[in-house]
Amino acid sequence: MTLPSTAAGAVIAIMIMAFITYLTRAGGVFVMSRIPIGPKVERFINAMAGSVLVAVITPMAVQGDWGARLALLATLVMMLTTQKALAAITAGIVTAALWRLVA
């Protein structure tokens, strides 16, 4: 099932994303008022939240050029040392730009 990325297709895709996201915002309150969320479900959701980001990033590192790989590495190192997201992202962008300037 795919949507063409025409204006109409894109708007429908955005509406669907908005609907799903609101379901997650309201869902926790709605479900919790009926059945409490147990520790097992909590552990699954916690692990899944990071895992989905890993699954999105992995192909970028595997299929990307060295500029992209070094950018991710710079972001990781910067994030682990400074804990500042903006600095880490900037380091990544600058690394990719510099690599492509010389390579």
Partner 1 sequence: MTPPVAGARLDLPGVLSGIRRMAPLSLFVVIFGLAFGVAALSRGLSGLEAMLMSALVFAGASQFAALELWGPEIPLLPLIATTFAINARHLLMGAAIQPWLAHLPPRQRYASLVVMSDSNWAMAAADHQRGETNVGMLVGGGIALWLTWLAGTLLGVIFGSGIEEPQRFGLDVIMGCFLLAMLVGGRRDLSMLLPWSAAALAALAAMVWLPPHSHVIVGALAGGLVGLLVPPSRGEREATA
The count of chain residues that interact with partner 1, using the rule CB under 8 A, is 76
Q: Is 103 an interacting residue with respect to partner 1 (CB under 8 A)?
A: no
CB of 83 to partner 1, least distance (A): 7
Burial 69-103 (b: 16+ CB within 10 A, else e): bbbbebbeebbeeeeeeeebeebbeebbeebeeee
Q: Is 15 an interacting residue with respect to partner 1 (CB under 8 A)?
A: yes
Question: Which of 16, 66, 102, 103 touches partner 1 (CB under 8 A)?
Answer: 16
Cα 100 to Cα 103: distance, rounded to the nearest angstrom: 5
Q: Is 8 an interacting residue with respect to partner 1 (CB under 8 A)?
A: no
